[in-house]
Amino acid sequence: MASIVVILSSVLLILSAFSPGSSLNFTFYDKTCPQAESIITNAVKNATSKDNTVPAGLLRMHFHDCFVRGCDASVLLNSEGTNKAEKDGPPNINSLHTFDVIDSAKKDLEASCPGVVSCADIVALAARDAVSLAGGPSWNVPKGRKDGRTSKDSETITMSGLPAPTFNISELQQSFSRRGLSMDDLVALSGAHTIGVSHCSSFRNRIQNFSATQDTDPSLHPTLAASLKGVCRIDSMGKDGVTAMVPSSTTFNNTYYKLVLQGEGLFSSDQALLNNPRTKHLVRKFADSPEAFRKAFVISMIKMSSITGGEEIRRNCSVVN
């Protein structure tokens, strides 16, 4: 695993990425629960030692949490009664896991300092640890998020919800802009796709009935398209297959950008990054410079994770108090 690197040397640079009026700070638990970060790190390390897909799952969970109602751990809430929660929404129900990792960390935190550390902060810190354990950078995470009390599956699929893998560059820009995130953030955060796996349903539009005249998306490399068609067959239970995102799908690096330039981005939204001069320039920059990618990724992660919301500190991450 690559050595852990703290990218940013200037606290002022990090603070400039915060949302206006944010109450987050780096020392939030120093007096109330000084062992909080080590407890969370240990939970992530223990889980990763048993399952190397955990880092990708935790990183994805953080993104999916922050893009709906802000980083408030609403993605962790269970469906209840007639309300279907975010975790059961179409983009999440088959793609999110690692809830048990967050629950494990929360259990240990409640035993050590009950009612102090929010589930939203656990998700943010676990995502940082996940990236580091996968060979990516580490950074100081601002803390002090509160947990939300509302979670609706419908909010994951509206234009104000999660960006879809079928989005074009204009739709992606609008989705990120609604959250105060820039085109630079869009390209940097897309680099999270360098780890993990994807369900075929997320990119089937590119390899089957792409248009009235073409079965396959012409922007998809033909060798990859043929390979994906072989993998993505509906099984006897009527379910899609699953394929690795990239060859090094458990290692955090800049491979993603190199693949996009070769026409081997998996999603339409990946390849769409080449359809705008600014985003195309950044794809080339990050493909050429791992260090430039790591620095940009850290800045954008801090910026995204500072989109706050929520009202309470949940004692159990899957239910409101």
Domain coordinates of the chain in residue numbers? 188-297
CA pair distance 132, 197, nearest whole angstrom: 18
Q: What is the pLDDT of residue 242?
A: 65
Nearest residue to 60 (alpha-carbon basis) of 31, 14, 94: 94
Could you tell me which residues come within 8 angstroms of residue 121 by beta carbon, excluding any fewer than 6 positions away? 28, 36, 141, 143, 144, 145
Q: What is the pLDDT of residue 181?
A: 96
Q: What is the pLDDT of residue 184?
A: 98
CA pair distance 147, 150, nearest whole angstrom: 9
CA 117 to chain centre: 21
CA pair distance 201, 221, nearest whole angstrom: 18
Q: How many residues does the structure list for the chain? A: 321
Q: What is the pLDDT of residue 215?
A: 86
* Tokens (6 digits) for 47: 């889980």
Nearest residue to 54 (alpha-carbon basis) of 1, 2, 97, 4: 97
Ranges of H-type helices in the chain: 11-15, 36-50, 54-66, 99-112, 119-133, 169-177, 183-190, 222-231, 255-261, 268-271, 277-288, 290-305
Q: What is the pLDDT of residue 114?
A: 98
CA pair distance 227, 239, nearest whole angstrom: 18
Q: What is the pLDDT of residue 207?
A: 87
Averaged pLDDT, groups of 10, the chain, 321 residues long: 40 45 85 98 98 95 96 97 94 92 98 98 98 96 96 86 92 95 98 89 85 87 88 64 63 95 93 97 98 97 93 96 93
The residues that are catalytic are: 64
For domain 188-297, the CATH class is mainly alpha
CA pair distance 280, 277, nearest whole angstrom: 5
Q: What is the pLDDT of residue 237?
A: 56
Q: What is the pLDDT of residue 19?
A: 45
pLDDT digits (tens, 9 = 90+) for 250-276: 899 999 999 999 999 989 999 999 999
Nearest residue to 58 (alpha-carbon basis) of 252, 220, 272: 252
CA pair distance 25, 169, nearest whole angstrom: 33
Residue 81 CB neighbour total at 10 angstroms: 5
